[in-house]
A and B are shown apart, each in its own frame.
Chain A
């Protein structure tokens, strides 16, 4: 239950963030500018929160958000939010967070200055009224019952059905009985509140009939009673949706009479027995009276049977971070054990063992990779919070600042995201306070009034780089130096010798602040030094570049993950050391005579550049001598801005190492950054490349390799690089298989191929892998038959693995060359790739599989056998999961998408092979109407049934849905009918196409 609440909270917070982003976007627009997308986003977010709060019976939250929604409604006609209201809504969001945290809150629902707003409507004063009560709110929305009401009722009814069914089979305990009673009671309350007299009559009858059941200590509810109540549940569903319906009233009355006899069960068991049969009879009668009821009840029953094993469609689950952390630690240990096993396997000739250890190696590597992925999160989770920070700050500082974010989808380890949050906040606040000037100063110096801060995140060389650029006043060398001299950080003589970069680095010195005066935003001299130490603690680097008058760029380089690092193991004397691969540029071996000396320091010439050398023995103070062996091993390392070579005794091996921190009193040594356990169980130090460079080469020299501008201004988008596996087939031309679909390349013994029916298969990693001969499919002669070893490329198509049998695996091709699709000799061929020296035929793997396993359009009964594939598009996670689950239980194969755009993506992925599509209407990015229109333009989906599943139920909406191309329409509240409707649509469609 608690998990449920937690999950609920997280979902609410995410929704709230969405609303907040949209509000902030609004803020950027000119006052009263209308934007339907943004307005809808905010509105939908509030609406969803309200609905969810209703479902969780969280009244004050529901009430609060309802008020927000109400105020927002006032500007619906213009689809805009006046500037002065944006702040109010933001505060409202804060209060929502307070409520979520269970904190007390006070919020004035009178919106500021709303009366002055020329809304041109008589309803003007109404929204300026102070906090409306729930009752009033309810009255207002009576015309159109709110979603959460239906959600609540159907939730309640679901619970009632579940409880009834449970009680029927195993009596159920008192708690269950009480819960059942309570649920019916709440339903009664809710329907009464909304003035649904028939429903309330029915609920009352149900309640009364259960009165004795609740009071009784030992009882057995008889089947007839349960059946009748279940019928009531169904009727209730109808009653709630169709008000003022004579038919309904008649049924309700009938049902009420039917329940009558159960009201007196408490008398004696004998009476129960006696009454049982007429009741049974009656219930059958009533079932006849309401057609479909029976099937509905049983459908409900099926849906409610807890099915733990039922396969879930691809979706997400939330997991405790602590669990992932633990998983990660264990993974680290496992990598160590794997390393030890591999090391041991070198000493033995036991083939079986070698084989097993190789397998262990492969599986562990894969496991490690996947485990890492579980912890990756887009950096946007942190970055987007800064929109608010910047907005608030620009208000406080009376400046105009816009924040631009790029690369928010860049992923890095969750713990690292947490770790960079504070440093980034410091930097952004600093940029707002010190960097960006006031509008007056800016316009005087010819800059646009609004300053801009840009945050760019991207991957580079196994690291995540975050650039924070502002177009403010930049850093001033002279004032930085003046301050530094004042504070005694450097003396005048030093100051004159310092490079710009060194001068800029001064702002990271503790106690250094250039702000003219201390503001409450920043300027106390704490901050930038914290930034530096925090980033360095996680193995990152902070760098700063600036041009006085035009802005400052701060660059953070952060490792992708902390836990496991690929490293090179080297030896010096008897000791082994690990050097992180990211620091390693290349390995060279040179002759002793190649070493020259410049000012007593050894150097080598490497491809025309001079490279400074450091002898590791010197670093370790283990008796370095200039007597080098004949050939010298040098590892070339990259420390920030400079390259240098380190002379080592031997280069041993690469290994994935688990970084263990050093005891805190050892951290001051600048030459080690940590330790690790090697494969043989001994401990090795990890070299701190940066520290060694600093200590032995002095602070970074002026970086003459590249200027700042091309360092920071490098193009982030490159031409699309595609990769293929080149294979040889029974054709003269080489064929290429897109690497994206390739899982692995395997060599298998030909005699390991078995037959399953006519299908050739191999056993592959615990399951059966179907083998497809590519020659056969493409109509080339098969030369592969009498080989001992068969080359197989394992590809993934629609979540299934297939083995493509080829004659030869030649190479991997990375190319930006043009793919010419005009000449395609076979349907399973994409086109030709014209490279420099040859033409390569690109294979369409999905079509190959289609050819090999024709599932559509066949003559056999396999149509029936194949699970119908349904695409379900719905933006609310809980609803999406619930419906998907139900559909899967009904034997459908479900693919889910979270909005129209995502839906189109899924369609593209699956090559449009869907038998039916269900889509919500209200969705972010692309709504259901637009989605439907798009779908109808796809030839494969021209006649596919398309169900609109939505809460929008006005006749106009229904018409629009029809116009957009939807086949039919179902209200969300009738969700239980969905499987039936789906079946109906599929049958109709089959008949039509037949």
Chain B
């Protein structure tokens, strides 16, 4: 079941809901569309990429496939805390395999469309770029990350 977000709540259709794979970076709860997440792993051995921007952590060997490790703290402009980056979320987008370094992994959450809110203006612009919007949940606010924006931003910053 896959629904597409138009950036607006989907009206009265309360039955519509989406599933997110959630994770925590610097104490905040983020989510990525569960369909786009390939797997969740402990950090693997990283081959450093010299001369690359700091958010490019290097390359990892994911069972013969090569993924680019991306530091979300660096990308979001958060304080660095490598010791706390205990997990990675591997996603495939437009044939690019990226592995996002996160602090911790949360559950897969199912949220109802009517709890959706556009990204508040108050959020740090460095992070807002990557956000699709937020969901109010019992565990607090879930910030939805758009992989497309991440890829776009990576293209931009590495150009």
B72 within 8 A of A: no
A660–B66 contact, CB under 8 A? Answer: yes
Which stretch, A251-259, A681-689, A944-952, touches the partner chain B?
A: A681-689
Residue from the list A622, A668, A675 in contact with B66, Cβ < 8 A: A675
CB distance from B97 to the nearest CB of A (A): 7
A336 within 8 A of B: yes
**Nearest A residue to B94, CB-CB:** A664
**Nearest B residue to A661, CB-CB:** B66
Note all chain A residues with C-beta closer than 8 A to B154.
663, 665
B61–A668 contact, CB under 8 A? Answer: no
**Nearest B residue to A660, CB-CB:** B66
Q: How many A-B residue pairs have CB under 8 A?
A: 63
B158 within 8 A of A: yes
A683–B61 contact, CB under 8 A? Answer: yes
Note all chain B residues with C-beta closer than 8 A to A669.
49, 51-52, 158
B61–A666 contact, CB under 8 A? Answer: no
A665–B61 contact, CB under 8 A? Answer: no
A575–B96 contact, CB under 8 A? Answer: no
Q: Identify which of residues 50-65 in chain B touch chain A, using a CB-to-CB cut-off of 8 Å.
A: 50-52, 56, 58-61, 64-65
Residue from the list A663, A672, A683 in contact with B97, Cβ < 8 A: A663
Note all chain A residues with C-beta closer than 8 A to B141.
none
Report the bound CA distance from A660 to B61 in whole Å.
11
Given contacts A677-B61, A682-B61, contact A666 B50 (CB under 8 A): no
A575–B68 contact, CB under 8 A? Answer: no
Which of A619, A620, A621, A677 has the most CB atoms of chain B within a 10 A radius of its CB?
A: A677
Note all chain B residues with C-beta closer than 8 A to A664.
96, 155
Which of B50, B51, B158 has the most CB atoms of chain A within a 10 A radius of its CB?
A: B50
Note all chain A residues with C-beta closer than 8 A to B60.
683
A665–B59 contact, CB under 8 A? Answer: no
CB distance from B157 to the nearest CB of A (A): 8
Residue from the list A336, A619, A662, A668 in contact with B64, Cβ < 8 A: A336
Interface size counted on chain A using CB atoms at 8 A: 24
Interface string of A316-360 (1 = CB under 8 A from B): 000000000000000001001000000000000000000000000
Q: Identify which of residues 132-149 in chain A touch chain B, using a CB-to-CB cut-off of 8 Å.
A: none
Interface string of B118-159 (1 = CB under 8 A from A): 000000000000000000000000000000000100110111
**Nearest A residue to B51, CB-CB:** A621
A907 within 8 A of B: no
CB distance from A642 to the nearest CB of B (A): 22
Residue from the list B49, B65, B158 in contact with A668, Cβ < 8 A: B158
B64–A575 contact, CB under 8 A? Answer: no
Residue from the list B50, B59, B61, B159 in contact with A621, Cβ < 8 A: B50
CB distance from B153 to the nearest CB of A (A): 9
CB distance from B47 to the nearest CB of A (A): 4
B64–A677 contact, CB under 8 A? Answer: yes
A671 within 8 A of B: yes
CB distance from A690 to the nearest CB of B (A): 16
Q: Identify which of residues 609-665 in chain A touch chain B, using a CB-to-CB cut-off of 8 Å.
A: 619-622, 660, 662-665
Note all chain B residues with C-beta closer than 8 A to A620.
50-51
Residue from the list A666, A681, A683 in contact with B52, Cβ < 8 A: A666
Report the bound CA distance from A664 to B68 in whole Å.
10
CB distance from B57 to the nearest CB of A (A): 12
Note all chain B residues with C-beta closer than 8 A to A683.
47, 58-61, 66
B3 within 8 A of A: no
Interface string of B24-68 (1 = CB under 8 A from A): 000000000000000000000101111110001011110011101
Note all chain B residues with C-beta closer than 8 A to A333.
64
B98 within 8 A of A: yes
Interface string of A678-701 (1 = CB under 8 A from B): 000111110000000000000000
B59–A575 contact, CB under 8 A? Answer: no
Report the bound CA distance from A669 to B51 in whole Å.
8
Note all chain B residues with C-beta closer than 8 A to A665.
68, 96, 151, 154-155, 157-159
Report the bound CA distance from A665 to B75 in whole Å.
14
**Nearest B residue to A573, CB-CB:** B50
A685–B47 contact, CB under 8 A? Answer: yes
Report the bound CA distance from A683 to B97 in whole Å.
14
B98–A685 contact, CB under 8 A? Answer: no
Given contacts A336-B64, A683-B59, A683-B66, contact A666 B51 (CB under 8 A): no
Note all chain B residues with C-beta closer than 8 A to A675.
47, 59, 66
CB distance from A666 to the nearest CB of B (A): 6
Given contacts A575-B48, A663-B97, A664-B155, contact A681 B61 (CB under 8 A): yes
Note all chain A residues with C-beta closer than 8 A to B96.
663-665
Interface string of B64-87 (1 = CB under 8 A from A): 111010000000000000000000
Q: Identify which of residues 55-104 in chain A touch chain B, using a CB-to-CB cut-off of 8 Å.
A: none
CB distance from A661 to the nearest CB of B (A): 8
Q: Identify which of residues 284-337 in chain A touch chain B, using a CB-to-CB cut-off of 8 Å.
A: 333, 336
Report the bound CA distance from A575 to B51 in whole Å.
13
Report the bound CA distance from A669 to B56 in whole Å.
12
Report the bound CA distance from A620 to B154 in whole Å.
21
Given contacts A663-B97, A665-B151, contact A685 B49 (CB under 8 A): yes
Q: Identify which of residues 90-131 in chain B touch chain A, using a CB-to-CB cut-off of 8 Å.
A: 96-98
CB distance from B21 to the nearest CB of A (A): 21
Report the bound CA distance from A642 to B45 in whole Å.
36
CB distance from A573 to the nearest CB of B (A): 9
Which of B59, B60, B96 has the most CB atoms of chain A within a 10 A radius of its CB?
A: B59
Note all chain B residues with C-beta closer than 8 A to A336.
64
CB distance from B116 to the nearest CB of A (A): 29
Which of A665, A681, A683 has the most CB atoms of chain B within a 10 A radius of its CB?
A: A665
**Nearest A residue to B151, CB-CB:** A665
CB distance from B158 to the nearest CB of A (A): 4
A677–B66 contact, CB under 8 A? Answer: yes
B50–A663 contact, CB under 8 A? Answer: no
CB distance from A484 to the nearest CB of B (A): 24
Residue from the list B45, B51, B151, B155 in contact with A671, Cβ < 8 A: B51
Note all chain A residues with C-beta closer than 8 A to B49.
666, 669, 672, 685
Note all chain A residues with C-beta closer than 8 A to B159.
665, 668
Note all chain B residues with C-beta closer than 8 A to A621.
50-51
Which of B48, B151, B157 has the most CB atoms of chain A within a 10 A radius of its CB?
A: B48
B155–A666 contact, CB under 8 A? Answer: no
Given contacts A665-B155, A668-B159, contact A684 B68 (CB under 8 A): no
Report the bound CA distance from A683 to B45 in whole Å.
9
Note all chain B residues with C-beta closer than 8 A to A671.
51
Note all chain B residues with C-beta closer than 8 A to A681.
45, 61
CB distance from B43 to the nearest CB of A (A): 14
CB distance from B24 to the nearest CB of A (A): 25
Q: Identify which of residues 575-594 in chain A touch chain B, using a CB-to-CB cut-off of 8 Å.
A: 575
Note all chain A residues with C-beta closer than 8 A to B155.
664-665
CB distance from B63 to the nearest CB of A (A): 9
CB distance from A784 to the nearest CB of B (A): 48
Note all chain A residues with C-beta closer than 8 A to B58.
683
CB distance from B125 to the nearest CB of A (A): 21
CB distance from B159 to the nearest CB of A (A): 6
**Nearest A residue to B152, CB-CB:** A665
Note all chain B residues with C-beta closer than 8 A to A677.
61, 64, 66
B158–A666 contact, CB under 8 A? Answer: yes
Interface string of A750-769 (1 = CB under 8 A from B): 00000000000000000000
Note all chain B residues with C-beta closer than 8 A to A684.
47
Residue from the list A575, A660, A662 in contact with B50, Cβ < 8 A: A575
23 A-B pairs in the complex with CB atoms less than 8 angstroms apart: A333-B64, A575-B50, A619-B51, A620-B51, A660-B66, A665-B151, A665-B154, A665-B157, A665-B159, A666-B49, A666-B52, A666-B56, A666-B68, A666-B158, A668-B158, A675-B47, A677-B61, A677-B64, A682-B47, A683-B58, A683-B60, A683-B66, A685-B49
A-B residue pairs, 9 tightest by C-beta: A620-B50, A683-B47, A665-B154, A665-B158, A683-B59, A663-B68, A663-B96, A660-B66, A665-B155
Given A664-B155, A669-B49, A677-B66; 8 other pairs, CB 8 A cutoff: A621-B50, A665-B96, A666-B49, A666-B56, A675-B47, A675-B59, A675-B66, A685-B59
